[in-house]
Amino acid sequence: MTVRDVLNKKKRYIAILLYFSFAIFLLGFLFSVIFPAFAVIGFWGFGIFFVTLGYAYFGIRCPVCRGIWGILAMRSGTPFSISRKLKFCPYCGVDLDSQDERMLLNRTG
Ligand SMILES: [Zn+2]
């Protein structure tokens, strides 16, 4: 697994959670027009969305140096992967397409 694979995996997971919670938020409030109890579900979707957004900013880190990729990872590339134009980590300079052994030392799980 390369450094890019690790970042893509995390971004994909976060993107799915973001879309899913936003859909819950929208549907919850749409249905609350007819069934007021659905507003609770809408609030949950809203809450999960913002918690996930916070995680996206601080949780997407370089697996080698733990540098915070957050905005850089989320704004570039497709919704499910980081941009192909990004070749190196801006913090430690590791090649994203390499399998750096320091990555394994910092792995948290
Ligand atoms: Zn790095």
Residue 11 confidence (pLDDT) above 90: yes
A 10 A CB-CB count for 33 gives: 9
Ligand 1 center from residue 21 Cα (angstroms): 29
Instruction: Give Cα 45 to chain centroid, integer Å.
Output: 16
- Which of 12-16, 18-22, 45-49, 74-78 is predicted least confidently? 74-78
**pLDDT, position 107:** 61
DSSP state of 78: S
Ligand 1 center from residue 87 Cα (angstroms): 11
> Half-sphere exposure of residue 45, counting CA atoms within 13 Å on the CB side?
17
Ligand 1 center from residue 103 Cα (angstroms): 9
Distance in angstroms (rounded) separating the CA atoms of residues 79 and 7: 12
The parent domain of residue 96 ranges over 3-105
Name the 3-class secondary structure at 55.
Answer: helix
Strands (E), the chain: none
At 64-103, the pLDDT tens digits run 999 999 999 998 889 899 999 999 999 999 999 998 788 7
Number of structural domains the chain divides into = 1
Percent over 90 (pLDDT), the chain: 81
Ligand 1 center from residue 97 Cα (angstroms): 12
Ligand 1 center from residue 11 Cα (angstroms): 16
Task: Give the global pTM.
Answer: 0.85
